[in-house]
């Protein structure tokens, strides 16, 4: 191989290698994004299963009476009360308290240990004043967005995951008593990007 061919080969490598490196990085990014979305779907489906099961018991319903009951259209709610009415919570950590340490919106806390039902399986932790990505850092999300939880067998405790969940009440089905149409959204806590959302009709059946 002559000197000209060697120089040409070096130049070509110099042109091609950055492109190959970019493609590798891009493919890894796509794989991570697809994996995160797949896990986001699993989180949303798990929340739906919990709601389906808990629709036959009273605990989640008693935690969300304001969101479930019909209110006459002539009644005007303040902004904070309307915001609470527009969201479903599924864990005691989502309860807001007034100065007398009573639930602000009439929530009945869940008995986490019940002689008949056993241990309550927690799924979301609503930690107030948590550090959210800038794009998600709103008062609404501070109150009604929580970390999806998994159970650690080794530590025997719940551990937060990097997936954030918010359950919005889209509207109420007036044809069915105590039925609400929900949107279950899942976000990546690390990036603030929305991974998945699904709609679900939740009807209290107990």
pLDDT above 70 for 8: no
Burial 119-136 (b: 16+ CB within 10 A, else e): ebebbbbbeeebebeeeb
**Predicted pLDDT of residue 26:** 41
Confidence of residue 81 (pLDDT cuts 50, 70, 90): very high
pTM, rounded to two decimals: 0.81
Q: What is the per-residue pLDDT across 168-194, written as a single tens digit (0 to 9) for each?
A: 999 887 777 778 999 999 999 999 999
Maximum distance among all Cα pairs of the chain, rounded to whole angstroms? 90
CA separation for the pair 49, 180 (Å, rounded): 16
- The pLDDT of 32-44, averaged and rounded, is 85
Q: Which two tokens stand for residue 188?
A: 């990546």
Please give, one letter per residue, the 3-state secondary structure of the chain.
CCHHHHHHHHHHHHHHHHHHHHHHHHHHHHHHHHHHHHHHHHHHHHHHHHHHHHCCCCHHHHCCHHHHCCCCCCCCCCHHHHHHHCEECCCHHHCCECCCCCECCCCCCCCCEECCCEECCCCEECCCCCCCCHHHCCHHHHHHEEEEEEEECCCCEEEEEEEEEEEEEEEECCCCCCEEEEEEEEEECCCCCEEEEEEEEEECCC
Closest C-alpha among 102, 99, 97, 121 to residue 111: 121
153-165 tens-digit pLDDT: 999 999 999 999 9
């Amino acid at each position: 191989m002559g000197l000209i061919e060697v120089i040409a080969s070096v130049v070509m490598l110099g042109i091609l290698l950055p492109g190959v490196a970019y493609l590798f990085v891009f493919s890894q990014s796509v794989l991570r994004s697809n994996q995160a979305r797949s896990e986001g779907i699993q989180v949303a489906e798990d929340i739906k299963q919990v709601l389906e099961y808990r629709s036959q018991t009273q605990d989640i319903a008693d935690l969300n009476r304001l969101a479930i009951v019909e209110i006459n259209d002539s009644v005007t709610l303040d902004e904070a009360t309307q915001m609470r009415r527009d969201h479903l919570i599924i864990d005691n950590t989502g309860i807001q308290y007034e100065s007398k340490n009573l639930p602000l919106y009439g929530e009945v806390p869940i008995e986490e240990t019940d002689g008949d039902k056993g241990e309550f399986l927690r799924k979301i932790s609503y930690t107030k004043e948590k550090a959210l990505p800038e794009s998600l850092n709103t008062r609404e999300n501070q109150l009604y967005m929580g970390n999806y939880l998994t159970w650690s067998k080794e530590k025997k405790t719940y551990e937060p995951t990097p997936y954030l969940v918010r359950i919005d009440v889209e509207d109420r089905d007036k044809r069915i008593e105590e039925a609400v149409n929900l949107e279950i959204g899942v976000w990546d806590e690390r990036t603030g990007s929305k991974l998945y959302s699904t709609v679900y009709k939740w009807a209290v059946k107990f």
